[in-house]
């Protein structure tokens, strides 16, 4: 496992410490999780594979067709 040294100002370090304590994980684990979430910007495979698996699920156009939109006031 690789190691990286980062430098944080006091305010940011305090926020990281507080968040990691709240999540009951180490600061290293918390930072790694945040980086992972930021870099993993795709849906998980299980979610992508589920697309279209409900044959009777209405199409987006059908869902929107049954909605009456309110007229918005002008600024």
Bigger pLDDT: 74 vs 51? 74
- Give the number of other Cβ atoms within 10 Å of residue 54's Cβ: 8
Residue with tokens 């944080």: 8
Q: What is the pTM of this model?
A: 0.54
Q: What percent of the chain has pLDDT over 90?
A: 45
> How far is Cα 24 from Cα 69, in angstroms, rounded to an integer?
45
Say if residue 14's pLDDT is above 90.
Answer: yes
What are the pLDDT digits (tens) for 18-41? 999 999 999 999 999 999 988 887
Boundaries of every domain in the chain: 10-49
């Amino acid at each position: 496992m690789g190691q990286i040294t980062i430098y944080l100002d006091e305010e940011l370090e305090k926020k990281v410490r507080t968040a990691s304590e709240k999540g009951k994980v180490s600061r290293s684990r918390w930072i790694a999780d945040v980086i992972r979430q930021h870099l993993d910007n795709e849906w998980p495979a299980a979610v992508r594979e589920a697309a279209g698996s409900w044959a009777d699920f209405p199409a987006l156009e059908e869902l929107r067709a049954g909605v009456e939109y309110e007229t918005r006031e002008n600024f």
